[in-house]
């Protein structure tokens, strides 16, 4: 069908052959043994409990009815130093570090004869970047995979002295990483759904399938907040807004940890996603942000997910912050994470975070010192692609030498055991219902949720003259081209299911129009050219071969009714260690798009990517643009559904699209006037010095229908710092199609003791409406939603006015009102006193009234209502400032027509402040209206 699927078919075929060749292997169970897992005849299995330490009596830690803390202390008291240190390390699974799929006699001579904290990615099919999935006999079917992990678990339960079960950890940011499992859009796509309930379902399915396959701890969600669109791992974040990341992170965690089916381990703690220049730097060194930004942006989701989601795991990042590596920072891993945030799970290292202390950061002399610093700082489990001996042996040396106290070791092991008890490993260490794994993993029901996620993640960026949706009955020939039209590699990479059936955009269109239209396809160009990325700064001419392929795309477009061009990025240009120096479409993709557009045929652009791209030419010329991110295995069907109107797109941007990489940092939220520049007039005689504004702002997204907002009510309108507020409004579908609208509530602290962001997202709701239908939407503003991190490094709610804004995006505000916070002592004032405001300003020659311009926008006129004019004429100047306190006169005139609004026009310019200066006479001003473009 296509090259990538052909390769996957070949992989599947080779797997089947391999499995058949191994059928005589006595280790492989028969199908009749893959219904319910059969316990061995070991006498340790009792009625309702397991005699893990094989002493013939029920110890406290073996008693399911005992308190978890009591069970932990009882077990800890029985553990030797060797057993404790083995709980502090991970063994990477088959074909990573571990040589064996199943236990062997030699395991009794290995380090893990004394137990093991975790085994990571065992039999999940992933081997290395760029290699096809593992073809061993235990990756599939699901029941056999679960059986194999049970057999590994049985070694730790039956063959180690205390029988401490191992924690089976695995990746899972777009479905649990397995040979086959339900395949969701990447996390960036999931973020664009703005749908908490959907994300909770995704989390539940990820955790449920993980546990059915035998895993007990899933590395998800990613709580990094994107701030630099060049960063390679942008595809793995929910978005650039800490509130949205926290809300979806809570939903994902609650879904995963339903009934403690698995532990959720979030990553990466902390300050990981804003490294210098967006570069990976391998150790992600030198993040560029102030301490206050770390608090407001990067720590915010962790606080919420730990408090509201009960997060059981945290992965410590291997970057530094302000010169201090997180991995060796007691402040970050203990004082902040455990002390301030209340985290009670266990901390696992990200890859070589420990080793980087001496090999990259240079804050440690050698591995032994790096181990000491990490454990002292708060690390519970080292997890990387190295032998566990490389960590445990220096750890034991440190204990023997007195470099680490047993109290510290006990504290670290206690956290690991707590998580193992909470997820039920000491009560049900095995996945008993093997048949359920075959029945539920990647089930049809779960795939429907994946399809919903793919549909809801798609954002309609442009739809000039209602180009979309296409009317099937009017289409007889369709041209499809572009490097992502027939490629689904984005759905089959690391951190998710590896070998599932996938639907490309081309396949989705063909299936949608089967029997109705002829579909012509040619690739058109590759994702990159032969000289990429050098060609981004030194563009190269098209080769004859490249030109011939574009010519084929043009020929197909000329004989078609419509042309669909599918561009963007893939694993070559985006992903871990794939940061970029440009946000433009790579390679010769723009050449292809321009050539197809030049045919004059209606052209639709579909972008499949893991980051925002600066598609300025497309935005100006192409009538319809869809952003699909990496939409998962169901992506091709979802995109076809949107193109042909079987689904009305409702996704909205959780990231900002800069017009050029030169604007970076350019993101949401931002400080007042931090993302605007001076002039607004271009050309030889203009005053612009750079490009201004976003290509597409945070929260933006179109629909095939329209929505009206009305009837905003904020109750109560005056509160104390400890009161909740209810915000109500109505939303109506005013179009003729069913559709989803994502309503967004923003809050602005108008005057604070420190500078706050222009808008803080503090509520959102995805609402489905039939044509003509109206629904009431209710938001709750809690005190924490109004709080700021003050100069004393405390989160407080300061008395004053707050602007409440309801919008269809961060720049499309439809309704607003003012909420007033008063101190408790002032809360008993009469409402008349609270609402008393100054009604006029009076000035004589030399006096002036200065007014700030919200968001420092471009304006070209100001309206003034004069009162109390005297017989002597009053003259005035209107002056503007573009920042820095310098005011320039843009209009001079005489105050006339008392009591009526007078509008005064001048050349449009970006303004931070307006000043009305009385140059002669005396006058009063009752009202000033600043009209923005």
Beta bridge partners of 381: 348
Active site residue 350: yes
Place of tokens 């017989």: 871
DSSP 494: T
Residues 6+ apart with CB under 8 A from 434: 34, 35, 36, 37, 143, 146, 147
Rounded-to-10 torsion of CA 187, 241, 313, 427: -70
Q: Please, what is the angle between helix 544-558 and helix 589-597, to 10°?
A: 30
Residues 401-407: contacts with CB under 8 Å, at least 24 apart: 403/372, 404/372, 404/375, 404/376, 406/81
228, 320, 350, 740: which one is catalytic?
Answer: 350
Assess whether the previous peptide bond of 389 is cis (omega < 30° from 0).
no
68 DSSP 8-state letter: H
| H-helix or E-strand spanning residue 651 | none
Q: What tokens does 41 get?
A: 């005849």
Helix (H) or strand (E) holding 440: helix 434-440
Angle at 179 between CA 173 and CA 180, to 5 degrees: 75
Cα(239)–Cα(701) distance, rounded to whole angstroms? 15
Q: Name residues whose C-beta falls within 8 Å of residue 877's C-beta, 6 or more positions apart in sequence.
A: 889, 891, 892, 916, 917, 919
CB 125 within 8 A of CB 10: no
CA angle at residue 759 from 755 to 760, to 5 degrees?
95
Per the CB < 8 A criterion, the answer to whether 653 and 699 are in contact is yes
DSSP string, 142-202: HHHHHHHHHHHHHHHHHSSSS-PPPEEEEE-BTB--SSS---PPPHHHHHTT--HHHHHHH
User: Could you tell me if 521 and 434 are in contact, meaning their C-beta atoms sit under 8 angstroms apart?
Assistant: no
Question: Each residue of 820-842: b (16+ CB within 10 Å) or e?
Answer: bbbeeeeeeeeeeeeeeeeeebe
The answer to whether residues 788 and 752 touch, using CB atoms and an 8 Å cutoff, is: yes
Catalytic annotation, residues: 350
């Amino acid at each position: 069908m296509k090259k990538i699927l052909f390769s996957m078919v070949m992989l599947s075929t080779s797997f089947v052959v391999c499995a058949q060749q191994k059928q005589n292997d006595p280790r492989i169970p028969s199908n009749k043994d893959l219904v319910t897992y059969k316990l061995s005849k070991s006498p340790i299995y009792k009625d309702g409990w397991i005699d893990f330490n094989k002493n013939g009596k029920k110890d406290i830690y073996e008693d399911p009815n005992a308190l978890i803390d009591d069970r932990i202390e009882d077990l800890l008291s029985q553990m030797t130093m060797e057993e404790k240190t083995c709980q502090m390390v991970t063994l990477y699974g088959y074909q990573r570090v571990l040589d064996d799929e199943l236990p062997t006699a030699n395991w009794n001579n290995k380090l893990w004869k004394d137990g093991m904290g975790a085994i990571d990615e065992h039999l999940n099919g992933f081997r290395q970047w760029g290699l096809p999935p593992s073809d061993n006999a235990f990756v599939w079917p699901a029941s056999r995979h679960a059986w194999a992990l049970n057999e590994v678990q049985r070694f730790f339960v039956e063959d180690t002295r205390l029988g401490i079960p191992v924690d089976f950890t695995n990746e899972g940011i777009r479905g649990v990483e397995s040979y086959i499992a339900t395949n969701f859009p990447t996390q960036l796509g999931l973020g664009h759904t703005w749908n908490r309930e959907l994300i909770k379902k995704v989390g539940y399915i990820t955790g449920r399938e993980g546990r059915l396959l035998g895993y007990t701890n899933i590395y998800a969600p990613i709580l990094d907040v994107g701030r630099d669109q060049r960063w390679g791992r942008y595809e793995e974040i929910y978005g650039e807004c800490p509130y949205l990341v926290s809300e979806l992170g809570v939903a994902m965690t609650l879904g995963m940890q339903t009934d403690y089916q698995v532990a959720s381990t979030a990553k990466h703690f902390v300050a990981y996603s804003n490294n210098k220049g967006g570069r990976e730097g391998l150790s992600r060194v030198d993040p560029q942000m102030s301490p206050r930004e770390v608090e407001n942006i990067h720590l915010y989701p962790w606080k919420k997910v730990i408090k509201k989601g009960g997060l059981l795991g945290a992965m410590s990042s291997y970057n530094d912050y302000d010169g201090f590596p997180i991995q060796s920072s007691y402040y970050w891993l203990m004082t902040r994470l455990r002390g301030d945030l209340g985290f009670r799970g266990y901390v696992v290292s990200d890859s070589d975070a420990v080793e980087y202390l001496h090999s990259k950061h240079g804050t440690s002399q050698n591995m032994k010192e790096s181990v000491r610093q990490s454990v002292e700082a708060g690390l519970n489990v080292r997890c990387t692609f190295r032998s566990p001996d490389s960590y445990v042996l220096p750890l034991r040396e440190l204990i023997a030498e007195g470099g680490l106290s047993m109290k510290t070791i006990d504290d670290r092991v206690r956290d690991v055991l707590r998580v193992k008890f909470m997820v039920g490993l000491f009560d049900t260490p095995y996945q008993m219902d093997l048949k359920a794994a075959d029945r539920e993993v990647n089930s049809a029901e779960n795939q429907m949720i994946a399809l919903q996620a793919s549909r809801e993640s798609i954002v309609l960026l442009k739809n000039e003259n209602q180009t979309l949706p296409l009317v099937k009955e009017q289409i007889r020939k369709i041209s499809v081209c572009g490097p992502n039209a027939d490629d689904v590699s984005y759905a089959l990479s690391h951190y998710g299911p590896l070998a599932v059936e996938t639907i490309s955009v081309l396949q989705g269109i063909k299936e949608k129009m089967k029997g109705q239209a002829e579909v012509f396809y040619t690739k058109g160009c590759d994702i990159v050219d032969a000289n990429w990325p050098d060609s981004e700064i030194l563009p190269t001419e098209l080769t004859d071969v490249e030109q011939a392929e574009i010519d084929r795309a043009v020929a197909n477009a000329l004989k078609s009714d419509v042309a669909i061009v599918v561009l963007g990025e893939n694993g070559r240009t985006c992903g871990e260690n794939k940061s970029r120096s440009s946000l433009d479409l790579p390679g010769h993709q723009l050449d292809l798009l321009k050539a197809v557009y030049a045919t004059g045929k209606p052209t639709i652009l579909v972008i499949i990517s893991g980051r925002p791209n600066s598609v300025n030419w497309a935005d100006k010329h192409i009538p319809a643009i869809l952003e699909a991110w990496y939409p998962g295995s169901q992506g091709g069907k979802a995109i076809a559904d949107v193109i042909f109107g079987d689904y009305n797109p409702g996704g909205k941007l959780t990231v900002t699209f800069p017009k050029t990489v030169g604007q970076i940092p350019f993101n949401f939220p931002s400080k007042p006037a931090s993302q605007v520049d001076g002039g607004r007039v271009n050309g030889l005689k203009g005053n612009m010095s750079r490009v201004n504004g976003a290509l597409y702002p945070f929260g933006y997204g179109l629909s095939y229908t329209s929505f009206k907002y009305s009837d905003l009510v904020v109750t109560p309108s005056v509160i104390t710092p400890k009161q909740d507020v209810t915000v109500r409004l109505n939303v109506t579908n005013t179009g003729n199609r069913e559709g989803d609208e994502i309503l967004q509530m923003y809050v602005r602290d108008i005057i604070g003791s420190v500078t706050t962001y222009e808008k803080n997202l503090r509520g959102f709701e995805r609402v489905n409406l039939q044509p003509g239908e109206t629904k009431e939407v209710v938001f709750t503003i809690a005190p924490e939603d109004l709080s700021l991190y003050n100069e004393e490094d405390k989160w407080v709610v300061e008395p004053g006015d707050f602007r409440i804004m309801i919008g269809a995006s961060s720049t499309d505000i439809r309704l607003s009102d003012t909420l007033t916070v008063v101190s408790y002592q002032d809360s008993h004032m009469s409402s008349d006193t609270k609402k008393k405001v100054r009604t006029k300003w009076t000035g004589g020659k030399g006096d002036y009234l200065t007014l700030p311009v919200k968001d420092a926008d471009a304006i070209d006129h100001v309206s003034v209502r004069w009162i109390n004019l005297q017989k002597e004429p009053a003259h005035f100047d209107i002056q503007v400032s573009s920042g820095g306190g310098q005011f320039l006169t843009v209009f001079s005139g005489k105050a006339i027509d008392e009591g009526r609004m007078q509008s005064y026009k001048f050349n449009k310019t970006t303004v931070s402040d307006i000043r009305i200066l009385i140059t002669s006479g005396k006058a009063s001003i009752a009202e000033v209206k600043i009209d923005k473009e």
